[in-house]
Structure 1
Amino acid sequence: MSRKLENKIAVVTGGSSGIGLVTARLFAEEGALVYITGRRKAELEQAADSIAHATPVQVDSSHPEQLARLMAQVEAEHGHIDVLFANAGGGSLKPLGAITEADYDDIFGRNVKGSLFTVQTALPLLADHASVILTGSIAGSIGQPGCSIYSASKAALRAFVRNWILDVKDRGIRFNVLSPGATHTPALLELAGPEASAQQALLKRMSSLIPLGRVAAPEEIARAALFLASDDASFVNGSELFVDGGQAQI
């Protein structure tokens, strides 16, 4: 049986840990040649060592000149991109009244500016009928305390894809948002601090909000990304795919 991404060129930003790393590994297992990016060199190289046919490129996606260097390398080595997973991002939580300009610039720089210029810089390299996936979040659709800036940044990604499918409709490129719920990643556990008891309490509290009664494993998000990347989703365009155990639907 042929693999879903056989001989495809895939770029995964934010691929050194968590959802990005697990997805990059799955893409490679499905036959893709994968480029992964991250801001921290040692962590990035360690991640690449765990993925077959992976090329690490140190990039901060909020800096367009670094994205340009990444795309120039992909062009020189392969000439095109079949799958672009704009996954890099993140942010902190602060309630209204405590938000600083630096908080805004950091979160919108990583999630909105980074995603925009990742896609725009890659656009000349995207093959016709390529798949572009943006990592959103259920935070873009539901309210949570202290989450307004992060939520707004993820909601912006949903607006991006609605418009981009019209901007490049003559090329058949598909744009979709993949919106996870709470997922068992290092980034999630960091919200609780270093204590194992606090981390377990956070997981228990988040699980209580999810109809399926648990947080997601990164592999579950990765399989949804593979669906959107592959020909299985050949008529899925401009959509938001929630992988959240039902949390955003209640």
Structure 2
Amino acid sequence: MLKFQNKVILVTGSGTGIGQTVAKLFAENGASIIILGRRKEPLEETKKILDEIISRVKSNAKVWLFSGVDVSDETGVSQMFDSLKNSNVSVDVVVNNAGVSGPVTCFSNAPLEEFKSTVAIHLTGTFWTSTQALKVMKPGAKIVTISTFFTEERPFEQRPYRFRSPYTASQGAKNRLAEAMSWELAEKGIVSIATNPGPVHSDRIYKTVYPKAAAEFLRTSGFEDLTPSEVEAANKEIVGLLGENEQTVKDGIAKAASAVAKMKNGDAEKIAQTLARLLAKIQEIAEKVQKNTSFMIADRQFLSQMQVAQTVMTLADDDIAKILNGKVIPGDRVFYPVKPHITTSAPQVHQPDFASQVFVFTIDATDKGDAERAAFLAQHVEKNGGKAVCLISNETSKENQELISSKFHSHTVNLKSPEEIQRWLNAAKNIGKISAVVHITGKVPQDIKIIDLSRKRWDDLVDKFVNTPATVLQSAFEMFVPGGSKDPRLYKDASGTAVIIGPDMPSGAKISGSDRARVEVFRGALRPFATTVNQELSDVLKSKVRSFLVLPGGVDGKESDNAKITQALNYFVTDTARRSSEITFCVDETRE
């Protein structure tokens, strides 16, 4: 009998690439396959391939095809699993593979809707597919999530992945989500594992990610006599020409040159020559990035898609899955020399005089403790000569709003609206120079189980702990560097401090592993996000603007100490902090 005879495997994003290869390997081993994705044509081609395999191995397996299913779409995913349930189909393995590149650009230039869409596909798609799949899963079933190596490899190591902030945020959270689900699914006898395969040979990385990253390097400084905006307009037209025949490239460059010529009222023929050199430079940098990455691998080889599929199939083995339940494996094959981005408490500095300085606090309080923290920090600023302006989320309870607004200059604001945040930040500039924008996320509710959450409750959590902090940060950057999103050259030597505080680790004497893992989903999103954004600010934009992350509370369940956060704030506004690579501070943890 074939290894997966009479088993049913569901693979998201299975029309092409890794997903298709995973589906093919399971079919070779006797499984019936459920394939799904957004585009019908590649899925139909995959089904044809799978039907041929099934016929050849004589497994009598089946293939179910669900086209037009975007894993981030609540209705589409729910209806698919309802259909399977009504047909009495039981799923043995779910492979969370679907993904997109997302915007490959500096965070300050990334459209927020594209940021949110990337998070929705990678993170929410994994959550919703996994929890809806429970309708058709029995004890012994497995959920295998494919994530990325550009997240945490070790507890205090964090890898930035510049130009990929929404991707790294959602991938970091996916790793922690796989761990959290393993705790909650144990009573159902269902296993949850994640795998970070490292660099993989794929059209996406060669034709999209590396070339777009190279193009972004060139956009940030401009190219020859082209401004960043002109380079960006050209890149949209010419990056896709890499690998095409000579005539296609020539025609594409001519079209792009015509568009740029209108922007700058220039000579289209001369601009075409410049764009030809730009495209050659993009290819050169992309190839260099690929080569440099390979030199960090022992055998200098990226994995093949089949090797990733073999890893997934190994993890779906009954005995292996039980051993590795809740783990994120394998440890990545790439050796990156990583700076110490994560640390514990901030260095003590002489108390700064905040006279003539304004600190803007954006507050998304979950409970009274969050509101008290905001008041404590605001009081610290004003006690030392500064002015605190508090922008309180309109979703904060009236009681907690009053706790803050009764003591400080405050406004109730929709923190999901970048336009509204920007308006209030500009108003705050009338009070004085804004030295720091400090966002308080609030705590993750402890009365929940992830696998039981409604889609609305989940979306609210993702907004609160991922999308809203990103919205506030991007608004703060635009306030510190007006026009910098379109002309990144303006960032050079500009200064400013943006801080995200939270969410806290749960406190108390009887904190379970499940409680900690649940909070880590969202802390796991913010760590790679903050690290990636900061590397763009320092290494690419040559800026003194910085984003810091404070994660209060400790693994031992002790209460967080707000005084340690004020110590961190004092440090964050110093030149020393802006020169350091340490940007995530676990202020209540102790490490020898």
TM-score by length of 2: 0.40
CA deviations on 1:23-47 (whole Å, 9 max, x unpaired) are 0100111111000111111111111
Report the counterpart of residue 41 of structure 1 in structure 2.
40
Q: Are 1:240 and 2:328 an aligned pair?
A: yes
Among 136, 150, 155, the alignment partner of 2:172 is: 155
- Correspondent of 1:177 among 194, 200, 217: 194
For 1:1-250, list aligned pairs within 5 A.
Answer: 2-51=1-50, 52=54, 53-58=62-67, 59-92=69-102, 93-141=104-152, 142-191=159-208, 192=211, 193-196=240-243, 198=283, 201=287, 203-233=290-320, 234-242=322-330, 244-247=332-335
Q: Contact 1:17–1:47 at 8 Å: present in 2 too?
A: yes
What amino acid is aligned across from residue 41 of structure 1 in structure 2? K
Amino acid of the residue matched to residue 82 of structure 2? A
CA pair 60-109 structure 1, distance change in 2 beyond 3 A: same
Change in Cα spacing, 1:194 to 1:17, as seen in structure 2 (3 Å) is: farther
Q: Following TM superposition, by how much is the alpha carbon of 1:120 offset from its aligned partner in structure 2, in angstroms?
A: 1.1
- Count of residues paired in the alignment: 249
CA distance in 2, matches of 1:203, 1:55: 37
Unaligned runs of 5+ in 1: none
| Distance of 1:21 and 1:78 partners within structure 2 | 25
Contact 1:216 1:245 in 2 (8 A): no
Partner Cα separation in structure 2 for residue 19 and residue 219 of structure 1:
8
Alpha-carbon separation, structure 2, partners of 1:127 and 1:220 = 28
Change (3 A) 1:5 1:178: same
The corresponding residue for 2:375 is none
> Which runs of 5 or more structure 2 residues have no equivalent in the other structure?
55-61, 153-158, 212-239, 244-279, 339-592
Work out the CA distance in 2 between the residues paired with 1:126 and 1:190: 37
CA distance in structure 1 between the aligned counterparts of 2:335 and 2:65, rounded to whole angstroms: 34
Offset from partner CA, 1:14-71 (integer Å, 9 cap, x none): 0011111100100111111000111111111111111134322111111011111221
Read off the aligned partner of 1:56 and give its amino acid letter.
L
TM-superposed CA distance for 1:130, in Å, is 0.5
Structure 1 range deviating more: 15-24 or 182-191: 182-191
SS in 1 for 2:10: strand
Q: Separation in 2 of the partners of 1:36 and 1:179?
A: 22
User: Which has the higher mean CA deviation after the structures are superposed, 218-227 or 93-102?
Assistant: 93-102
Displacement of 1:13 in angstroms is 0.4
The more displaced of 207-216 and 10-19 is 207-216
Q: Distance in 2 between matches of 1:237 and 1:145?
A: 31
Partner of 2:330, secondary structure, is strand
- Identity, in percent, stands at 23
> Once the 2 structures are TM-superposed, how far is the Cα of residue 9 of structure 1 from its aligned partner?
0.9
Q: Secondary structure at the match of 2:324?
A: coil
Deviates more, 1:219-228 or 1:147-156: 147-156
TM-aligned CA deviation for residue 243 of structure 1: 7.0
**For structure 1, which segment, 227-236 or 9-18, has the greater mean C-alpha deviation from structure 2 after superposition?**
227-236
Which shows bigger deviation, 78-87 or 24-33?
78-87
CA distance in 1, matches of 2:241, 2:297: 24
- 1:165 Cα deviation from its structure 2 partner: 1.5
| Structure with the greater alpha carbon radius of gyration | 2
Do the aligned partners of residues 168 and 79 (structure 1) sit closer, same or farther apart at CA in structure 2, a change above 3 Å counting? same
Alignment partners' CA distance in 2, 1:195 and 1:205: 20
Residue-by-residue CA offset, 1:119-150 (whole Å, 9 max, x unaligned): 11111211111010111101223222212221
RMSD: 2.1
Moved more, 33-42 or 224-233: 224-233
Equivalent-residue separation in structure 2 for 1:46 and 1:159 (angstroms)? 34
- Counterpart of 2:352? none
Shift of 1:103: 2.1
1:91–1:106 contact (8 Å) kept in structure 2: no
Q: Between 232-241 and 192-201, report the one with greater CA deviation.
A: 192-201
Higher relative contact order (CA 8 A, sep 6+): 1
Q: Contact 2:140–2:318 at 8 Å: present in 1 too?
A: no
Please state whether the residue corresponding to 1:140 is helix, strand or coil. coil
C-alpha distance in 2, partners of 1:241/1:49?
A: 32
- What is the one-letter code of the residue matched to 1:11? L
Do the aligned partners of 1:216 and 1:244 also contact (CA within 8 Å) in 2?
no
Equivalence for 2:588: none
Structure 1, residues 69-109: CA drift from partner, whole Å, max 9, x if none? Answer: 22123223343110000111123322232122112111101
Letter in 1 for 2:192: F
Helix, strand or coil at the partner of 2:131 = helix
| Superposed displacement of residue 8, structure 1 | 0.5
Cα deviation digits, residues 154-196 of structure 1 (max 9, x gap): 0111111222122121121110111121111122222234423
Partner amino acid for 1:69?
Q
Do 1:140 and 1:153's aligned partners in 2 also have CA atoms closer than 8 Å? no
Distance 2:25 2:293 in 1: 26
Q: What is the distance in 2 between the residues matched to 1:49 and 1:143?
A: 40
